[in-house]
A = this chain, B = another copy of it.
């Protein structure tokens, strides 16, 4: 697969273009002036070795000028990750929306919590698997592989979390998230009690619920807009 890998790497590179003054990241990806309408992407021949060379989202939205805070944040992404996650580029047509998304994301996934960052990523992947969300399975599947140092765990959670060998805490946590995703109306006190029995505090239960809720939102925004993950995720931490 060397050819594929190479072209995929190139695509990965493109996605990391600097948010310089003329914001090539945004223009290149959503088309900007030159490609005013995302038009229906021409279908890849299934047998060709091709990167995910489609627009970041299937909507034609003009990129906005990055606010100083967001320009700094994009810079930080590039420095730490080597690229700006496409979800940020997707939201970057409106600084208000980008900033509230980033604030909520960072609070939930990186803020203080009784849940480890890995646990929060595990919830993200199980919710996204239930909702079959390509973007989130790709980006957060990579995060699980990375945080856990256990590539198989990422695969398990993407495909069917029930095959993972989980301890009781993690199984209860993921069962709660999966039920909350599939039939939120059926979650009751007995479900919260099960979390308490394996040691979660009520604050932990809030966090499990909030993370599961957040990805039920993000999965739908991603699916509704045909959002595409940075190809680089696919090769991370295998």
Query: Chain A residues in contact with chain B, CB under 8 A?
Result: 1, 3-5, 8, 40-52, 54, 58-61, 93, 96-97, 99-101, 103-104, 107, 111, 116, 118, 122, 129, 131-134, 137-138, 145-153, 155-156, 158-160, 162-167, 170, 176, 180-181, 184-189, 191-192, 202-203, 205-206, 208-210, 212-214, 216-221, 223-226, 231, 234-235, 237-238
Contacts and interface: CB of A to CB of B under 8 A. Distances in A.
Contacts of A217: 213-214, 216-217
Contact of A166 (B46, B111, B134, B216): B46
Oligomer: number of copies: 6
Given A151-B8, A213-B218, A231-B152, A180 B224 contact: yes
A189 B150 contact: no
A234 B4 CA distance: 17
Tell me which of A61, A116, A166, A216 has the highest count of chain B C-beta atoms within 10 A of its own C-beta. A216
A206 B50 contact: no
A156 B137 CA distance: 10
Given A8-B151, A111-B96, A132 B224 contact: no
A5 B99 CA distance: 37
B165 A54 contact: yes
A87 to B, nearest CB: 12
Contact of A118 (B46, B54, B186): B46
17 contacts: A1-B238, A3-B149, A42-B165, A47-B147, A48-B149, A54-B165, A59-B202, A97-B107, A134-B156, A155-B234, A184-B219, A189-B226, A205-B225, A206-B225, A212-B224, A217-B217, A234-B238
